[in-house]
Structure 1
Amino acid sequence: MNFSELFELSGLLGRFSPDGKCLALCVQHSLVVRDVSSLQVRQLYTCLDKIQYIEWSSDSLFILCAMYKRGIVQVWSLEQPDWHCKIDEGSAGLVASCWSPDGRHILNTTEFHCSLSLCQLRITVWSLCTKSVSYIKYPKACQQGVVFTKDGRYMAVAERRDCKDFISIFVCSNWQLLRHFDTETQDLFGIEWAPNGCVLAAWDSCLEYKVLLYSLDGRLLSSYRAYEWPLGIKSVAWSPSSQFLAIGSFDEKVRILNHVTWKKITEFEHPATIASKKTIVYKEVEKSPSVETERLSFPPTKALASSLFSTQSKYEISQVPVSLQYIKPVADRANPKVGVGMLAFSADNCFLATKNDSIPNAVWVWDIRRLKLLVVLEQLCPIQGFQWDPRQPRLALCTGTSRVFLWSPAGCVAVQVPGEGDFQIVSLSWHSSGDSMVLLSKDNCCVCYLEREEVK
């Protein structure tokens, strides 16, 4: 495993292009585009204000930079550096911006004040080719309210009209309305297409446990409710094959629905004590390296001291039963640290990684083929994020330290990022090839290069 030098970064805004050839990094007002193979600067753009969001077009030819405070979106071209586009939403407050699947339209969600000091949202669709503008009224301010099918043909929008939830489905080729229907939700919180684009999942806020499955033509296929009164759904994830829908809940369980009957086939619990001998518990441990000081020339250089005297991390297999660190949530506070807040399926559909927020230092890996717990990774620090390799069953995770951790069916490894200073990794993202990752801290980032493992 090799690492690049550290590059300056702001806002955790570092993104690989979809074709894998470029890496975009933001530094305050500046957008730096580097060549992935050499990491040399390919383009440098200067925006009108501090960049708060970036996104590549699907064909990797354009990149948008959103400056929400100014209500401005700037678009840059990699093929024609002299060309640029500026979209100014004016007095309307810009709250979100994204590309359409064709990479030639930009969807801006704006907020403007109407009578009685009420706020109303509107989506504006800007065409880069024809410069035409289309409007979508009444989008709902929720966590996940605008989603596209994987093939880019359809868009679903969560809406709120007259104190009732609706979903509209549009054809992306001409932005015509295909279906419009109301939902059986009290407060629609999110929507998500199955990867095959045939089913749309919609779920209620945490106050109402309800998941609804709709067909492309708006028919309600099924609804699921695990319980009624306590806090309900916290996270939702489709498997890449569209065969399973995983629902993470505030009761610290994950429920798996199947695509045939849309009924629960199993539920995964996250107890604080691992007792099964069939589960492998990898525990991260720190050890100080032994250094023969008499062989050193003093004073050592900073780099030498950093490499010789810093603690090293590795995994050890714990003997069951194992008690994990459990943090009791504060019941009288909003957004309690409880429940399954992170879910991710591996690309081959064989594994599911989860995190129970009450046990912040552990990642759970479930075998979907056998519907059982396979591995628990117990870290020294709380999990900041994890992501699966897009090409093989290999999970990368970070804990706000200068180490990156990898799990695969072959085992676990903890790797220290070399260099001076305190590089605290709080986010990471895989390259589309699975051969590298970008590791992000608050102020810096670096690229980690890996050797591809053989999948047996």
Structure 2
Amino acid sequence: MDFTEIYKQTNSLVSFSPGGHFILAAVQDRIVIRRTDSCQIARTVLLDATPSPTQAFLQKTTPETRISHAAWSSDSECFLAACAKKGFVRVYKLYDEEWDARIDAGAEGLVKAEWSPDGRYILCFSEWGLRVTIWSLVSGKATYIQFPVHPDRGYAFRADGRYFLLAERHKSKDTLGIYDAHHEYQLVRQFPLPTASLASLSLSPTGANLAIWEGILEYKLHVLTPTGTHLKTFTPEPEPGLGIRTVCWHPTGSFLLVGGWDDRIHVLDSLSWSCILTLELSSRIPSGVNVWREPANWLERTEGRGFLSYERLQSPYTLLLNRVDHTKPHPKCGIVQIEFNSIGSLLMVRYETSSSAVHIYDFPSPSTSFNPRLRSILLHDRPVRNVRWNPARKGSLAICCGAAAIYTWSDEWVGEGGVEEEVAECVGVPADKFETYDIKWASDGKGLILLDKDAFCCAFEVEDE
């Protein structure tokens, strides 16, 4: 891998453009856009932090001017930058420096701003769950939806961007509203939900089914259709003490995976919505599982330059699990992350009880015999911070652990006899005092953004000649 220089950033607001040609980074009250091929600055924007008339009247001015949200539109033509504490959003066109737009929040305030999938609307979530304001960049009009349950979750767009689903709270009852994004977000359907205190929702990739679940005190998940038909309520037996932590759909929508705080993943099928398999964390790793371990002190030995293969251990192997104190709030246990690769043939799981390990399962397609099995485990010296599947390759992922390195795993290496083999490598970041806390892939899967607390760099695959 080739690494770029280290650049400044704020609030981890760094992203590749959807086309992969530019990199956007927020630096305090500025937006800096660089070309991906050369990292040369293509555009710099300084936000005008003048408060809106409403804020000035309410005396809500604050010295905080840092950008809180920044993102590309889906066509890479525009980008937005928001300052939530100042209550405004600025929108710019990449190739037209004379054009810009400003959205001022009213007395309801602003906690989040993001693009719609078509890149023609901006969704602004207000404080205290008062409303969602959807601004059209084409007509300049606004659509208001009252009382969203959560500003950071509890809503979804259908995969094609046609419909917007929002969990709302009306007369002390959870309600789902469905809005037509192609017709100024007109209300299409609204119906009550069977939850008492909705935690979040997840729409299947096909858009045919919707999963909603209760808060942390109750392990209960409901499956509905977008028309409001209640298909199933799932609660494991015996019911765990705490609720659901993570939910993930198979890319085909054929399976729904539900993980809680008890180190178990329940696999539901789309025919009966019953649990057909339970994946559970175990300290004993059976024979036949590939066990990879990060080499001890490899960063010191290599001085952060180059790369080194993981050590391969013999299985069966005993995995060290963290001791969990259930008497304290927020126990360090349960399912932190569940994620499928792009075609759903591999499943990555992170258990907080084994915080330094990454579990990779073989997951069969719906058309083959259903027998998911643990395939590989990657062990690290530090707790894993994040894992990301390559969006363009079916068998490649990247891992970060808060060290001056990234870790890669792939099953696409072609060995002797043309057989694909697993490869696990540690790649040092050639920089002083850089710790990788998060990673983001480019859409083509050939580049990575590596994020430190207030800096970032990029890593690109070296093309074979």
- Whether TM-score is above 0.5 comes out as yes
Relative to 1, partners in 2 of residues 1:355 and 1:309: Cα closer, same or farther, differing over 3 Å?
A: closer
* Aligned counterpart for 2:259 among listed residues 242, 245, 248: 248
User: Does 2:291 align with 1:281?
Assistant: yes
Give the corresponding residue for 2:52.
none
User: Does 2:433 align with 1:417?
Assistant: no
Give the corresponding residue for 2:362.
367
Alignment RMSD: 2.1
* Equivalence map 1:40-189=2 (5 Å): 40-47=40-47, 48=49, 49-111=65-127, 119-141=128-150, 143-174=152-183, 175-189=185-199
Give the corresponding residue for 1:342.
337
Give the corresponding residue for 2:457.
446
User: Does 2:357 align with 1:356?
Assistant: no
TM-score (norm: length of structure 2): 0.88
Alpha-carbon contact 2:210-2:224 (below 8 Å) kept: yes
Higher mean C-alpha deviation, range 259-268 or range 146-155 = 259-268
Give the corresponding residue for 2:383.
382
Q: Deviations over 1:392-430 (max 9, x none)?
A: 1201110000111111122211110113x1110000011
Q: Per-residue deviation at 1:312?
A: 7.8
Distance in 2 of aligned mates of 1:11 and 1:110: 20
Relative to 1, partners in 2 of residues 1:88 and 1:281: Cα closer, same or farther, differing over 3 Å?
A: same
Relative to 1, partners in 2 of residues 1:172 and 1:233: Cα closer, same or farther, differing over 3 Å?
A: same
Alpha-carbon contact 1:139-1:160 (below 8 Å) kept: yes
Give the corresponding residue for 2:438.
427
Task: Identify unmatched segments of 5+ residues in structure 1.
Answer: 112-118, 292-306
Relative to 1, partners in 2 of residues 1:311 and 1:216: Cα closer, same or farther, differing over 3 Å?
A: closer
* Aligned counterpart for 1:333 among listed residues 320, 328, 332: 328
* Aligned counterpart for 1:315 among listed residues 310, 317, 321: 310
Distance in 2 of aligned mates of 1:389 and 1:33: 23
Distance in 2 of aligned mates of 1:309 and 1:337: 31
Alpha-carbon contact 1:35-1:41 (below 8 Å) kept: yes
Distance in 2 of aligned mates of 1:324 and 1:46: 51
Q: Per-residue deviation at 1:39?
A: 1.6
Aligned amino acid, residue 65 of structure 1? A
Q: Per-residue deviation at 1:164?
A: 1.6
Distance in 2 of aligned mates of 1:439 and 1:289: 17
Alpha-carbon contact 1:287-1:311 (below 8 Å) kept: no
Q: Deviations over 1:315-364 (max 9, x none)?
A: 11122343333222332333221100111100021011011111110110
Q: Per-residue deviation at 1:185?
A: 1.2
Relative to 1, partners in 2 of residues 1:310 and 1:120: Cα closer, same or farther, differing over 3 Å?
A: closer
Task: Identify unmatched segments of 5+ residues in structure 2.
Answer: 50-64, 365-370, 412-421
Distance in 1 of aligned mates of 2:218 and 2:24: 40
Give the corresponding residue for 2:22.
22
Give the corresponding residue for 2:221.
211
Q: Deviations over 1:1-57 (max 9, x none)?
A: 211111111211111111222110111111111111222111111123211111211
Aligned amino acid, residue 140 of structure 2? K
Relative to 1, partners in 2 of residues 1:273 and 1:142: Cα closer, same or farther, differing over 3 Å?
A: farther
Give the corresponding residue for 1:408.
410
User: Does 2:201 align with 1:191?
Assistant: yes
Q: Deviations over 1:135-155 (max 9, x none)?
A: 101110265112101100001
Secondary structure of 1:135's counterpart equals strand
Q: Per-residue deviation at 1:310?
A: 8.3
Secondary structure of 2:126's counterpart equals strand
Distance in 2 of aligned mates of 1:335 and 1:161: 30
Aligned amino acid, residue 429 of structure 2? V
Distance in 2 of aligned mates of 1:325 and 1:396: 23
Distance in 2 of aligned mates of 1:161 and 1:336: 33
Relative to 1, partners in 2 of residues 1:23 and 1:331: Cα closer, same or farther, differing over 3 Å?
A: same
Q: Per-residue deviation at 1:252?
A: 0.3
Percent identity of equivalent pairs: 31
Secondary structure of 2:111's counterpart equals strand
Secondary structure of 1:158's counterpart equals strand
Give the corresponding residue for 1:298.
none
Aligned amino acid, residue 80 of structure 1? D
Secondary structure of 1:365's counterpart equals strand
Relative to 1, partners in 2 of residues 1:255 and 1:142: Cα closer, same or farther, differing over 3 Å?
A: farther
Aligned amino acid, residue 384 of structure 1? R
Q: Per-residue deviation at 1:289?
A: 8.9
Q: Deviations over 1:194-251 (max 9, x none)?
A: 1112212111112111222221222122222114351121011112222221111111
Q: Per-residue deviation at 1:74?
A: 1.1
User: Does 2:319 align with 1:324?
Assistant: yes
Distance in 2 of aligned mates of 1:61 and 1:143: 25
Alpha-carbon contact 2:88-2:110 (below 8 Å) kept: yes
Secondary structure of 1:358's counterpart equals helix
Alpha-carbon contact 1:286-1:311 (below 8 Å) kept: no
Alpha-carbon contact 1:325-1:361 (below 8 Å) kept: no
